[in-house]
Structure formats: structure tokens, C-alpha cells
Amino acid sequence: MAVARETLPQGAQVGAYRIIKAIAKGGFSLIYLATNEDNGEEVVIKEYMPKKIARRDADQRIVPISADYTENLHHGRRLFFQEVKALASLQHPNIVRVNAFFLANETGYLVMPNERGRNLGAYLHARKGGLSTSFILEVFVPILDALALLHRQSMLHLDVKPGNIHLRHGNQPLLLDLGAVHPLSRGRLRGGQVITAGYSPVEQYFRAGQVGPWTDVYAVGASIRTCMEGRTPQPAPERQKEDKVIPAKEAMKERYPDFLLEAVDWSLSMDAAKRPQDAAELLNVLAPHLDDPQSSRLSEATSELLDDSRAI
């Protein structure tokens, strides 16, 4: 039986940071609010501590729950380090910034700014869906722009969902949980990574599945549909057996414009080959409808990304 993961205690010192409190848990990490002891700045720290295979010893070090998991833990830590190093090179206003990364307690720590705002998942839960077209575009056009940069750099997010989108002042979105990002090898990656029911397409469930930028596109489509309906779409394996998802263009034709409903249905295709093949392709459809001066800039950037992505 897996041992419950123990968080670092309040006041614990790790690197140049002092823990204020634990604020969240993920499948592979623990999240803390902390203070930079050098300048007093509040930051968010993600500690690599995978569920089910790791525990904390008396000296606060992360160790395997048994010798059988030693190699798994070491391998995961190496991947975490490699992926965060790659992410640190990304510069985008809608991708969470990496302040620092360091090793301590036999594990890795990712340091990010503490951005004030609200979580889209929590906001959706309170509102129960029915979010406006303008709100959806304000949030997801920048998110797609950020994903287009990831895809251009041959990376995948693989865990796009409302709970991983942070809304700053003015509903400016920030894409979170980049520890889940995976670099692509020769443009493709096997499935079997982190799964979120309703947002992960079927290819992500199986190691034989061919995961690619189209996988993130499905998650965006599912997230937009959740904003509309207020509930998570039917999980992909269930859809494969008996698809109960009514096309958005039928289910919500009285509430949303055709271009948006068609984009959602396109993105949620069970056949990966029938979806937009990367975020830039979907962005190219949605960006021109954003009622904001930045839409023209995004449209121009999308054209460049489409040309670049096809050249990769």
C-alpha cells in the first residue's frame, strides 16, 4: 500500500527559500508557497515527489518506498530536471515563468513567481459553465498561442485542463503545470503519460498510442466545451466504446457561434488525424474572432508558426 506523501513543514528551509505552507498536490509533485530569504519575495515551489513510489525520510529527503522503486524514482527525477531545463528557455507571456531550479533533499525543486488571481477550474465550478464567447476567446487564444510555441519547440504539455489555467487580472491566462511537459523525439511520443479523464484523448491512455501536438489540441477542445457546459466531457475510452458526446454544433447551437462550436467538435475528434494537427492550426481559426487589438498580431504570429511547424 502506498505511503501518504508528507509535505515539508511550515518554516522548513530548502535552498534559499523558506516554506510558508503547502498549497496543492499533483501526481508527481507537491506545491508550496514560500519566501525567498534573499529578497523577501513570495514564490511558488514545486517539489518532485511522485505519488505511490516515494516517501520523505527523517532528514526530509525523498526516497523510494522500497528498493524496487529506486530506479523509477531516479529516472523520473532525471526527466523532471531535463524537462524543466528545457522549459526555462521558453519566454511567453502566457507560460508560467521559471525563476530557478535546484536540487536538494535528493529531489528537484522548480521555483515560479506567485501570480495573484484565480484558477479557471475553480471559477468554472462556481459558475457551472455557460461562459461567454468573448471570455472563452480571451482565455484560449493566448493559451493556444503559448501551446503553439511549445509545439514549435517540439514539446507537448499533455495536461491541459481548466485546473491548469490560472487567470490573472483582466482574465489574462497563464498555462500551469509545465512539469508535465515532454520533449518530442522525432516528432512523436508514446502514450502512457499522465492522464486526466475527460481531457486526455484515447491515444494518451496506451503506451502504443501515438501522442503528438494533436493530443494537446483535444485537451483544449475539451476545456472549451467544459467552459460551455460546466461539466467534463465523457472520458475518451468510454467514448471509444459508446460515444455519448453530442456534437457541440447540435447541443449548443442556440448559445454559441458556429465557428466556435465547429472548432470544438474538430478538436474533440476521436480520430487524431481528423483534429487540428497542432495548436497553431486551431489558433488560426479562433484568433481572427478575438475582439481585441492583439488579434491581428496573433493572426500574423499564427501564420508564421504554421509555416515553421510544417517545416519541422
151, 291: one domain? yes
130, 249: one domain? yes
Residue 4 lies in a domain: no
Residue 6 lies in a domain: no
150, 275: one domain? yes
Q: Look at residue 91 in the predicted model and tell me its pLDDT.
A: 87
- Fill in the amino acid letter for 65: I
165, 253: one domain? yes
91, 148: one domain? no
C-beta separation of 219 from 199 below 8 A: yes
Q: Is 259 helix (H, G, I), strand (E, B) or coil?
A: helix
Residue 42 lies in a domain: yes
133, 65: one domain? no
Report the C-alpha gap between 154 and 186 in whole angstroms.
Answer: 9
Q: Look at residue 294 in the predicted model and tell me its pLDDT.
A: 47
Q: What grid cell was written down for 62?
A: 525523498
Report the C-alpha gap between 167 and 117 in whole angstroms.
Answer: 5
Report the C-alpha gap between 206 and 264 in whole angstroms.
Answer: 24
Structural domain ending residue among the three candidates 79, 113, 147: 113
Residue 5 lies in a domain: no
Provide the 8-state DSSP code for 93: T
Q: What's the CA dihedral at 121, 123, 128, 129 to 10 degrees?
A: -80
62, 75: one domain? yes
Residue 100 lies in a domain: yes
Distant-in-sequence, close-in-space partners of 276: CB < 8 Å, separation ≥ 6: 214, 217, 266, 267, 282, 285
159, 104: one domain? no
104, 136: one domain? no
Model pTM score: 0.83
From first to last of its 312 residues, what are the pLDDT tens digits of the chain? 445 679 999 999 999 999 999 998 877 889 999 999 999 999 999 999 988 899 999 999 999 999 999 999 998 888 788 767 777 878 899 998 889 999 999 999 999 999 889 999 999 999 999 999 999 999 999 999 999 999 998 888 999 999 999 999 889 999 987 755 676 765 555 544 678 999 999 999 988 889 999 999 999 999 999 999 999 999 999 999 999 999 999 999 999 999 999 999 999 999 999 999 999 999 999 999 987 544 444 444 444 444 454 444
Report the C-alpha gap between 220 and 228 in whole angstroms.
Answer: 13
* Residue located via cell numbers 535552498: 15
CATH number at residue 171: 1.10.510.10
Structural domain ending residue among the three candidates 113, 145, 162: 113
CATH number at residue 42: 3.30.200.20
172, 260: one domain? yes
Angle among Cα 217, 155, 276 to the nearest 5 degrees reads 25
Structural domain ending residue among the three candidates 113, 132, 154: 113
Measured distance between the N- and C-terminal CA atoms of the chain, rounded to whole angstroms: 45
Residue 300 lies in a domain: yes
Residue 291 lies in a domain: yes
* Residue located via cell numbers 475510452: 237
Q: Look at residue 297 in the predicted model and tell me its pLDDT.
A: 45
Report the C-alpha gap between 189 and 241 in whole angstroms.
Answer: 24
Range of the domain at 166: 118-311
91, 71: one domain? yes
Count of the separate structural domains present in the chain: 2
Produce one character per residue of 64-96: b if its CB has 16 or more CB atoms within 10 Å, e if not. Answer: beeeebeeebeebbebbbebbebbeebebebbb
Q: Look at residue 195 in the predicted model and tell me its pLDDT.
A: 87
Q: Look at residue 189 in the predicted model and tell me its pLDDT.
A: 57
137, 242: one domain? yes
Report the C-alpha gap between 48 and 82 in whole angstroms.
Answer: 13
